Structure 1
């Protein structure tokens, strides 16, 4: 059994320079009222924060205000899945709080060595891996402070980031 991990907000609050998130799955089967509403045809109004603002958004906005660079890169298969289309449609909320987001079509990542799991890397020193089932259900998170693992993740993220397409320029297939 894994030890209890610090909440994400606590990890980000302790961050001084950077927090990067690499997402590599095409489907996440996690409970989401936003996704369910989106599947039924609801589209959020970026100007109406009451539709989408959450504690997560506040946490990111607070970190960015302190000077932390928050970046998210998504490696995606094309044509994209419904879940990735949903993520694309709601990425305005990530951008609104100061996150930088880029997309990398999986076919352009073939020669990049990637860790086996999605992760957040904080200040290039602490990694929080996300473990999912094959069907996309979140199983658990794991914290790793091994400098070699942190370097591997930071390097992989930067390789993806350099190749990835900024959200404003990416047109999903």
Structure 2
């Protein structure tokens, strides 16, 4: 299984990501610091987040289009509020982010897991524990999975609110 960095480095045109959970990685020290009111800079000296931003900048510089869509519950969970706080750094690095309140996604067929699609041909499925920790990754080129993921993403993207316009409840 290639690393995420390798997958991203191999992308030539696009990287799309659909997130559908209201919480991720409760063990993340940056999330804990934010909840305690100690994190005022989204990057906050977080080496992993800075590395992510560097990868996005490098890929964007090669012409890779990044789109991230989030299906979220309203009112937003603490973790979604944290993501909103840190998302401007993602946008500045080259990501285009949109937010879709879950109530507006009822009639969209969504896969059971979050995913990435690279260059409209390779799907990275992300499996999380109930608590939101990453448990496993699965890579597939299965056409049915690819069609479902890209269709779901585009349906969410079409309805979602651009990051710069989304206001937390």
Q: TM-score, normalised by structure 2?
A: 0.93
Q: Could you say what the CA RMSD is over the residues aligned between the two structures, in angstroms?
A: 1.5
**Shift of the alpha carbon at 1:50?**
6.4
- Answering whether residue 143 of structure 2 is matched by residue 147 of structure 1, we say yes
**Shift of the alpha carbon at 1:54?**
1.6
Runs of 5+ in structure 2 lacking a partner?
none
Runs of 5+ in structure 1 lacking a partner?
none
- Answering whether residue 165 of structure 2 is matched by residue 169 of structure 1, we say yes
- Answering whether residue 15 of structure 2 is matched by residue 19 of structure 1, we say yes
Aligned match of 1:31 in 23, 27, 31?
27
Q: TM-score, normalised by structure 1?
A: 0.91
Q: In the alignment, what sits opposite 2:152?
A: 156
Determine if contact 2:30/2:39 at 8 Å carries over to the other structure. no
1:1-173 alignment runs, 5 A limit: 5-45=1-41, 51-52=45-46, 54-173=50-169
**Shift of the alpha carbon at 1:27?**
1.0
**Shift of the alpha carbon at 1:150?**
1.1
Structure 1 segments of 4+ aligned residues over 2 angstroms from their partners: 42-46, 49-53
More helix by share: 2
**Shift of the alpha carbon at 1:30?**
4.5
Aligned-partner Cα distance in 1 for 2:15–2:25:
24
How many residues align? The count is: 167
Aligned-partner Cα distance in 2 for 1:45–1:39:
13
